[in-house]
Chains A and B, each alone.
Chain A
């Protein structure tokens, strides 16, 4: 096999670089979205924020550089047009109006889609990009008539041409604010230029902002240089002259071209910019496009400043340069890691955890040996230290996986903006707890469900402005997204102050659609009714809108959240609003579990969903509507016998118990028996959100940290298990999916009414088979639906 060993590696390296490109681009797009939202807010208040526009510009510029490097032509093209638009914004040639903002938001949307397409997740949004490019082009054309405030000053156009874009921007901003512009000509001896310049700057700074330093090229000789310094200041010329003194300094005010000496107002900006300025900027563009030098995307504007040659080292664009340096620094300090690598580290941790428990057993054995007490103590100490470090390592890995929920909340803000405009409703999004951290994998999967919920809240919840005024609500609706940690769970609430959900409307719809029978409708309580919105195919709307109301959505929301081991619940009050609550585990990577035994099999119950475990007392069991329940501290607790739920009770021949593995496997029928009755057993009370079920098990084995692995594709249709984990001695333990089991068991309560007839038949069978077993009468009632 004489294959080129390098070919594989370089391909991998390319893949890696490409992946890094994706994640970097994604980060930039996310940041872009955040900045645009802030910009939107600022502009709605009628203000402007030059720094934000700069940030957006830099982001797009970086994207352009990146996409150029990776041959992502579509992204590169979009970035180029966008950069032009943003440049016009920066330099004040066009105004930040709502349509312009819309275009910017659309671009963010398209960036996300282009990225998805590049990854192969979606088709390329070619036609949309084309349409946006055209729209962007139209905006750029409009600027032709726009003027520049700078043009109104008596400045040499050639001089303007050497200003960096940032300097030009600062100049413009200061002038727009009504400050006066002064020109200082200062003669510096080269020997002391640094200290003199610093001295000058410290004198000038309290009076105003230094826009730029430029060598004049006149009046200098081999020992000295003349600099022209532009200062924007509120002070009068006299004040400046009195503070900044020196024989080598000449200060004059740069006068307006027109006679009016009043501060320029935005409305008066009708003059065309001098062509030379335009040309310069256009040149700058064509120089950079289409192949930006690789360094440019890291340094941003700083790269251009460097090209200006002689310049004092500290000047107003220091900030811009510092930003560039910051970017560089953050690149070197952050490591992007494929989450699968963390998974494999976690596997090692779980293997070490097994070693740890074996060491513990060994230490215990040595302790019982006579005359080995010193060895036992040493071993014990070693074990403790191992234990501690392992825990630290585990926590460290978990911490790396954690990301703030804010990552997706930013996207939500964009959705709110877009959807509320489409429905012509005014909505304010209030987010709290964006810093709440959750496993990266969960965050990824959470974004779609949350988006659906927000859309629903705007579409179905928030009333339009007139309606809100009529009922005496504030005209602008509010959607509050609150996130917080609660024990081992993260809770995300989506609350709107809209019209609420009318249970009567749900009932009539559900009955009409055959989801509910009349009898069931009468028996259901309000909460059960509200939860019908999560049923597949449920919608109260007759016509579907483009965004929601097609009857798909809420059931998908529930399914997706369920896949993450979470639950979603709904509460609503007519006229007040609706609140949806999502409860999720913090991580899926490693969890603490309670190991229980049922019919000789070991199962792992995630501790996060275990409230407590109590001794099972058969005499406490009551039946209620054919369901087994027991009274627990005054509350009714639905019971589920795990041996029945999993049909372990000798029903299936040929099962091979993990416990029974040895030289000769024992058929399960020998081992099975109603041990819960003989030995009493335990009730493990599981709670997800506020739904509780008591699972009856034979024995509690203990607590252990486990790494959950997904069951293979062959088993993906089997419900009730979140996966499996390796216990000691190569045994595999199944991990119970408490959320899905609880909802299965609780929803089967209402199913009882539908299938009572068939159930009675099976029930008779069951009691016949069970014969004299006590409690079998009630045991036959619950039959899990086989998940296939």
Chain B
């Protein structure tokens, strides 16, 4: 799994640029490597699943396939409830052989980050969560938390 060093290395491999999709979990901004994103969806009807964890919004059907939707804001303790508006999006990502929907407040766009625009996660202290693999500072001035999905899910769902 990539850590701070390896993402820099990857940047090197990819011709000094790494493409990420940035999104907001208000008030913060995060980004995921673009290769992890299967699709970006406008909100579909979601059915709540009783007895599931608080992070789980529910299940929805994407062209006949059942997708579990997660609330990352709950995960990151940014909000106790989620809300939708016309900027809300669901990012379909492939994790552990399953497609999962991540509910986000807004998609900010695709950034191509150069090596010098990425800080190692250690700047957040030595106890940084394992799913933060770096901090991006693209030209616009937004600070992006770069997420690695695998540790995010292995620690949340067990």
Contacts and interface: CB of A to CB of B under 8 A. Distances in A.
Interface of A: 347, 351, 601-602, 646-648, 652-658, 661, 664-665, 667-668, 709-715, 718-721, 723-724, 726, 729-734, 784, 786-788
Q: Which of A646, A658, A664 has the largest number of chain B CB atoms within 10 A? A: A658
A654 B82 contact: yes
A726 B61 contact: yes
Ranked nearest first, the 6 interchain pairs of A and B with the lowest CB-CB distance are A654-B81, A646-B50, A732-B47, A661-B45, A658-B47, A712-B68
Given A661-B45, A720-B51, A732-B60, A714 B82 contact: no
Contacts of B96: 713
Given A654-B82, A732-B59, A732-B61, A713 B45 contact: no
Contacts of A665: 83-84
Interface in B66-101: 66-68, 70-71, 80-84, 96-100
B59 to A, nearest CB: 5
B55 to A, nearest CB: 9
A165 B10 CA distance: 69
Given A351-B64, A718-B52, A656 B59 contact: no
A715 B80 contact: no
A656 B58 contact: yes
A743 to B, nearest CB: 16
B66 A724 contact: yes
Contact of A729 (B45, B68, B157): B45
A714 B98 contact: yes
Given A711-B68, A714-B157, A721 B49 contact: yes
B98 A732 contact: no
B113 to A, nearest CB: 27
Given A711-B66, A720-B51, 8 more contacts: A351-B64, A654-B82, A656-B46, A712-B68, A714-B98, A724-B66, A731-B61, A787-B51
25 contacts: A601-B47, A647-B51, A652-B54, A654-B82, A656-B48, A656-B84, A661-B45, A667-B81, A668-B48, A709-B65, A711-B66, A712-B67, A712-B98, A712-B100, A713-B157, A714-B56, A714-B70, A715-B49, A720-B51, A723-B66, A729-B45, A730-B45, A732-B59, A732-B66, A734-B50
Given A656-B58, A730-B61, A732-B66, A711 B49 contact: yes
Interface residues of B, number: 36
A647 B157 CA distance: 20
B45 A731 contact: yes
A590 to B, nearest CB: 14
Given A647-B50, A656-B48, A712 B57 contact: no
Contacts of A786: 51
A502 B117 CA distance: 74
Nearest to B157: A714
Contacts of B100: 712, 714
A655 B48 contact: yes
B44 interface: yes
Contacts of B82: 654, 656
Contact of B45 (A654, A658, A668, A714): A658
Contacts of B98: 712-714
B53 interface: yes
Nearest to B71: A654
Given A715-B52, A715-B59, A718-B49, A347 B67 contact: no
Contacts of A655: 48, 58
A621 B125 CA distance: 59
Contacts of A658: 45-48, 58
Nearest to B86: A663
Contacts of B157: 713-714
A217 B64 CA distance: 74
B90 to A, nearest CB: 12
A654 B48 CA distance: 10
B51 A719 contact: yes
A784 B49 CA distance: 15
Contact of B44 (A653, A710, A730): A730
Interface in B2-46: 44-46
Given A786-B51, A787-B51, A715 B81 contact: no
Contacts of A668: 48
Contacts of A729: 45
Given A653-B81, A709-B66, A714-B70, A731 B49 contact: no
B50 A648 contact: yes
Given A714-B157, A715-B68, A732-B66, A724 B47 contact: yes
